[in-house]
C-alpha cells in the first residue's frame, strides 16, 4: 500500500509506503483536533488507556510544534508498514529558501552544479543521484532516555535543491526504536527517489493532474 502526497507551494510530490497520517500545521487548533482524533483512533477509548492517550497527545503536539518552529511544510506519521503491522515513525518536510542576497550568487541549474553545492554544504553526507536529482543523505543512530532505560532512534536527513536551485527541501525521517541503518535507509532512499517536481516536464506524464496539499489529511 502506498500514498501519494504533495505540496503545491513547494512544487513536489512524494510516494510514501504503508499507512500514513498527515498532521496539519498551519492552524494550532486544527493541529490539536487532528492529534486528538489520531490518538483516539490508534489507542482507543478504553478508560484504562487514558494516561497513554495523554502522553501520546503531548508527544505528538510537541512534535508538531517543533515542525512549525522549523517552518515545515508538513508532518507525516507512519502508522503501519503493512496492514496489521504498526510501525512508529515520522517524516517532516522543511522548505529552506535561500536568502535573497544569495539568490543571484548561487543558482545551480544542472545536476552536477547542484551536487557540487550539496557536497560543499554537507561534507559528511552521502551524495545520491535519485529521481528528483542530487540528494545529500545523512543517517545516524541516536539514543533516547525512556524512563530508566534508553532506546535507539534512527535519524535520516535528506537535503535537495529544486530545479531552480533557489530553494532547498529537507526531509527529516525519525524512526524511534529502530536500532540499525540497514534496510531502513535503503527503504527511505526509495521514498526520496519518488520525489518529483510538479513543474518538471519530465515527470508531468507520471504524476496526477491534481496533487493534494501535504498539510491536510484529517485522522478522524
The CATH number that applies at residue 30 is: 3.40.1000.10
| Higher local confidence (pLDDT), 99 or 18 | 18
Q: What is the per-residue pLDDT for 125? A: 95
Mean pLDDT, residues 68-79 taken together: 77
The answer to whether residue 218 is domain-embedded is: no
| Residue pLDDT, tens place only, 155-208 | 999 999 887 777 788 999 988 777 788 888 998 999 999 998 876 444 344 333
The answer to whether residue 217 is domain-embedded is: no
The answer to whether residue 84 is domain-embedded is: yes
* DSSP code at position 213: B
The answer to whether residue 207 is domain-embedded is: no
| Residue pLDDT, tens place only, 91-116 | 888 887 655 444 444 566 788 888 99
Residue 69 sits in which domain range?
2-202
Q: What is the per-residue pLDDT for 156? A: 94
For the chain, how long is the longest CA-to-CA vector?
A: 59
The answer to whether residue 212 is domain-embedded is: no
Going across the sheet that includes 2-7, the strands are: 2-7, 12-17, 196-197
C-alpha to C-alpha distances, 180 to 78, 89, 147, 193, nearest whole angstrom: 18, 14, 22, 21
pTM of the model: 0.72
* DSSP code at position 186: H
Q: What is the mean pLDDT of the chain?
A: 74
Domain count, the chain: 1
Contact 79, 87 (CB under 8 A): yes
pLDDT at 209 over 60: no
Q: What is the per-residue pLDDT for 34? A: 83
Residue 106, CB half-sphere, CA atoms under 13 Å: how many? 19
| Higher local confidence (pLDDT), 33 or 79 | 33
Q: What is the per-residue pLDDT for 6? A: 54
Q: b vs e for 97-115, b when ≥16 Cβ sit within 10 Å of the residue's Cβ?
A: ebeeeeeeeeebeeeeebb
Contact 165, 124 (CB under 8 A): no
Residue 4, CB half-sphere, CA atoms under 13 Å: how many? 13
The percent of residues above 70 in pLDDT, for the chain, comes to: 72
Q: Is 219 helix (H, G, I), strand (E, B) or coil?
A: coil
Q: How far apart are CA 155 and CA 160, in angstroms?
A: 17
The answer to whether residue 125 is domain-embedded is: yes
Amino acid at each position: 500500500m502506498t500514498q501519494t502526497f504533495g505540496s503545491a507551494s513547494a512544487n513536489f510530490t512524494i510516494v510514501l509506503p504503508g499507512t500514513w497520517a498527515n498532521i496539519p500545521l498551519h492552524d494550532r487548533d486544527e493541529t490539536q483536533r487532528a492529534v486528538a482524533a489520531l490518538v483516539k483512533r490508534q489507542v482507543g477509548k478504553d478508560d484504562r488507556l487514558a494516561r497513554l492517550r495523554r502522553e501520546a497527545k503531548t508527544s505528538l503536539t510537541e512534535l508538531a510544534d517543533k515542525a512549525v518552529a522549523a517552518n515545515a511544510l508538513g508532518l507525516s506519521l507512519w502508522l503501519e508498514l503493512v496492514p496489521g503491522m504498526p510501525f512508529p515513525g515520522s517524516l517532516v518536510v522543511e522548505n529552506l529558501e535561500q536568502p535573497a542576497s544569495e539568490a543571484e550568487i548561487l543558482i545551480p541549474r544542472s545536476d552536477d552544479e547542484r551536487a557540487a553545492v550539496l557536497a560543499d554544504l554537507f561534507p559528511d553526507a552521502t551524495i545520491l543521484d535519485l529521481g528528483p536529482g542530487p540528494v545529500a543523505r545523512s543517517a545516524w543512530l541516536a539514543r533516547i532516555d525512556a524512563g530508566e532505560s534508553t532506546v535507539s532512534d534512527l535519524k535520516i536527513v535528506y537535503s535537495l535543491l529544486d530545479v531552480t536551485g533557489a530553494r532547498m527541501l529537507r526531509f527529516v525521517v525519525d524512526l524511534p526504536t529502530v536500532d540499525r541503518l540497514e534496510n531502513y535507509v535503503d527503504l527511505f532512499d526509495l521514498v526520496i527517489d519518488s520525489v518529483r517536481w510538479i513543474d518538471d516536464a519530465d515527470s508531468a506524464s507520471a504524476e496526477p493532474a491534481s496533487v493534494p496539499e501535504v498539510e491536510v489529511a484529517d485522522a478522524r
